[in-house]
Structure 1
């Protein structure tokens, strides 16, 4: 039902081994090749060394500041509308587990869990954290997780107007991440059923049992932790004989934002991090290819490659770049700096004495935050508001001061360059780059300079996250779910506590 035609493959010519006469002929030809005399060889060597010396001393001159790529204009000229990711949707539909004839625990007798109440019209950070934990609930209950799309608009439209720009109403999750959550295999020996796409669920579960999340929520304390919520849901799902369970669309999310926004989320991490949901998590091929293309932006070049890069005629001397993405981007400091409408959000947080996101409040992290006393219902003191803005929406001066402070720490040893994850305008980025440049950083780059293709452009936040996840040191925003997810991923990867810092 869900099989797609296999793509045609081009024919490949096979090279036959050379015969002995052929080998003799090539050997004789090589031996007869003219050779340079020692004199000409010395002259060539002197010329080459002179050229390299010139290039080296020339390379000591200040390097002009990079100009941000005008990706939007180029893409709009070629593609007047955002991508719809048809190929990614097609690959999801072609997953091998979309087969009703498969034996239990998959196929027509399998057990499935569809959370139709998943978040929409939310930022990627909020959507990702819920997606992974929902997938974990399905895994713990022995059910196949039903995944949908990263959804901005549920009205069925292809595009949505967002601040005057068209964006895709839906992006397939497989264009953002890979692994068991979006249908990837579980490790050998793990009997868990694989995740399936919503379209397959519609076919294999035409009459699901619908459960309101209130059935479980009302049995819990108001401040129940994430692990307590997980255990309650696993018990509820295991208690029903229904093959196909749907969480009612109009009911509250299983893990509401109040859980992610507090330390209540932390106790689920040990089991979650040890599960295949996290251990087998990876970014999508689309995201990884974007970072592979932009590695020169976030990794320091060697002296030799810097010299040769200035000599087009000698480019052939450069070794082919290894496209493998390093597990850690040594020498790189990543800053997560939200601008624009985040100023209003930070003011709102101060008025309600809000706390940091849960995964930013691990015991052992060097930076902490507690809402200061003195605030009221929807209001706060000027001193408290200033503190919130410094920690949530720092000025350029405050950013530079904090960066230099972290640079002097043990975790900051060896830092050479800065990458700024930001939605700021280019003029603001330029002013920050100039100020940081005065402090002797080898390079300062930003999200605005990523070289992204048409499809990569709309998953750029995931590209930023992958860079932040692998940086030697991160300075993030404690109030941000995006930072919170990056810290969670860094902790799961075994990065040191000292390498995770906040404004």
Structure 2
């Protein structure tokens, strides 16, 4: 049997039990027992349990003990028994699937918004990265968390802003389940192709859908509502109808009080001396709690930073090709007409296929020379820019090449975020939040119109009052 152990100081250690020298005769007799296979399996299980309880880091992911504890204990401090606790009214939407943070976040924000409109407590779940019952998938180290507490990335669900609007505060799913066992739930199943007999048939019009669901959820006397099916699915975010919600959503308490978490902002504080030396650090003791009904202060823009969102790799190139073949629209809020760069997507129906695929490649996965030319043009149009911050999925030779070319163009600093800003193992799972915060405050942001990351950043920049000309797309 070949056994592999994690090694905190280097590569995993492997050995084959067949190569272990034979011991004394008595030991040989023990190991030759017919149940020796079961004994070996038992030993392996015991060793695994020891490692799970010890959790050497790396290769084990962070345990997020502080964030899990906050989510678990915070509802116990709520002191409005008529609208919270056992007398409260709750709503739980469909459990998230293993997707990226921003793909889940765009739904969380709208679900929370709908819960506030319906005067119900929003039951939230962790960010799901892998579909497993284990803390992480036991493949190859270093491992990543299967579930990350939502409060490790955003503060909106734990800040308690709802109390300023006489609304019940959000609670974690574990608290919801303690009050709402399955037999107490009123379940609505979204009617769709997979569930033609569903009892929830939503309007295709975004504004009508929100009004319809608000009236249904607010008017229902049931304490515990559970929604099965994605009421805000991919088709919803791909549709032009989404833009009907732009103004009302931007002004909503959920978005006005949205901030990244203290965990994320502590990383930004750590790098503030390089990113924006003249800016004050975040007050981490206040950022996670709402103190007024007015919402958060976005902070001054970092006018010297050009934030570029770059996606690359074979799988992403295939995604871009598929979108070109379907003439797919930009996703989410990147379709807002005021943003430069989205005026020709989707292209006219009579555009030749080769030209259409070339257009989608340029906008979805730009070449190095196109990136350099765009950065050069941004600096010419905005002379205050002198630093480039590259948001990307990982450190690759291609990313290093782009950085080298930008430095040769005379930029004072070029930060490749996974390598230069959050390289530590414990920051890897929240690095996307760091990228979003820097891009939100950057002087100019050039995003990817086919990415939910670009969509959420664009929305937050609109909330902050940044001129749309400073939020662009490839």
Corresponding position of 1:381: 353
Corresponding position of 1:331: 304
The 5 A counterparts of 1:268-287 are 268-287=245-264
SS in 2 for 1:282: coil
Corresponding position of 1:351: 325
**Distance in structure 2 (CA, Å) of the matches to 1:172 and 1:355:** 32
1:263–1:219: structure 2 CA closer, same or farther, 3 Å change rule?
A: closer
Displacement of 1:168? 0.6
Please list the CA deviations of residues 230-261 of structure 1 after superposition, one character each: whole Å capped at 9, or x if unmatched. 1111111123210111112xxx2010111112
Q: Is the 8 A contact 1:333 1:415 kept in 2?
A: yes
Corresponding position of 1:418: 388
**Distance in structure 2 (CA, Å) of the matches to 1:394 and 1:484:** 18
The 5 A counterparts of 1:34-433 are 78-97=57-76, 102-115=80-93, 117-160=94-137, 166-179=143-156, 182-186=157-161, 189-206=164-181, 207-214=184-191, 218-220=201-203, 223-225=204-206, 227-248=207-228, 252-299=229-276, 322-324=280-282, 327-340=300-313, 341-368=315-342, 369-373=344-348, 381-409=353-381, 412-433=382-403
Displacement of 1:218? 2.5
Displacement of 1:501? 0.9
Displacement of 1:453? 4.4
Q: Is the 8 A contact 2:188 2:200 kept in 1?
A: no
**Distance in structure 2 (CA, Å) of the matches to 1:219 and 1:266:** 17
The 5 A counterparts of 1:474-485 are 474-485=445-456
Q: Is the 8 A contact 1:334 1:421 kept in 2?
A: yes
**Distance in structure 2 (CA, Å) of the matches to 1:72 and 1:470:** 38
SS in 1 for 2:429: helix
1:365–1:417: structure 2 CA closer, same or farther, 3 Å change rule?
A: same
Q: Is the 8 A contact 1:178 1:281 kept in 2?
A: yes
* TM-score normalised to structure 2 length: 0.78
Q: Say whether residues 1:460 and 2:435 are aligned partners.
A: no
**Distance in structure 2 (CA, Å) of the matches to 1:86 and 1:297:** 29
Q: Is the 8 A contact 2:121 2:168 kept in 1?
A: yes
Unaligned runs of 5+ in 1: 1-70, 303-320
1:367–1:142: structure 2 CA closer, same or farther, 3 Å change rule?
A: same
Please list the CA deviations of residues 378-410 of structure 1 after superposition, one character each: whole Å capped at 9, or x if unmatched. xx722211111111101100111112222222x
SS in 1 for 2:74: coil
Q: Is the 8 A contact 1:293 1:451 kept in 2?
A: no
The 5 A counterparts of 1:13-28 are none
SS in 1 for 2:132: coil
Identify which of 416, 419, 435 aligns with 1:446: 416
Greater displacement, 335-344 / 421-430: 421-430
Q: Is the 8 A contact 2:310 2:390 kept in 1?
A: yes
Q: Is the 8 A contact 1:396 1:432 kept in 2?
A: yes
Q: Is the 8 A contact 2:116 2:162 kept in 1?
A: no
Please list the CA deviations of residues 175-221 of structure 1 after superposition, one character each: whole Å capped at 9, or x if unmatched. 00002xx132226641000111111111111221111122575352x
Q: Is the 8 A contact 1:85 1:455 kept in 2?
A: no
Runs (4+) off by over 6 Å: 71-74, 161-164
**Distance in structure 1 (CA, Å) of the matches to 2:10 and 2:275:** 24
**Distance in structure 1 (CA, Å) of the matches to 2:61 and 2:205:** 41
Q: Is the 8 A contact 1:338 1:424 kept in 2?
A: no
**Distance in structure 1 (CA, Å) of the matches to 2:140 and 2:92:** 31
SS in 1 for 2:337: coil
SS in 1 for 2:340: coil
Q: Is the 8 A contact 1:216 1:236 kept in 2?
A: no
Displacement of 1:139? 0.3
SS in 1 for 2:143: strand
Displacement of 1:357? 1.2
Displacement of 1:88? 1.0
Q: Is the 8 A contact 2:436 2:453 kept in 1?
A: yes
Q: Is the 8 A contact 1:97 1:196 kept in 2?
A: no
Higher Cα radius of gyration:
1
Please list the CA deviations of residues 78-132 of structure 1 after superposition, one character each: whole Å capped at 9, or x if unmatched. 4221123122111111114566x842111211100011x1431111111010001
Q: Number of matched residues? A: 399
Corresponding position of 2:457: 486
Q: Is the 8 A contact 1:97 1:194 kept in 2?
A: no
**Distance in structure 1 (CA, Å) of the matches to 2:439 and 2:216:** 37
SS in 2 for 1:458: coil
Displacement of 1:163? 8.9
1:396–1:268: structure 2 CA closer, same or farther, 3 Å change rule?
A: same
Displacement of 1:352? 1.0
**Distance in structure 2 (CA, Å) of the matches to 1:237 and 1:431:** 52
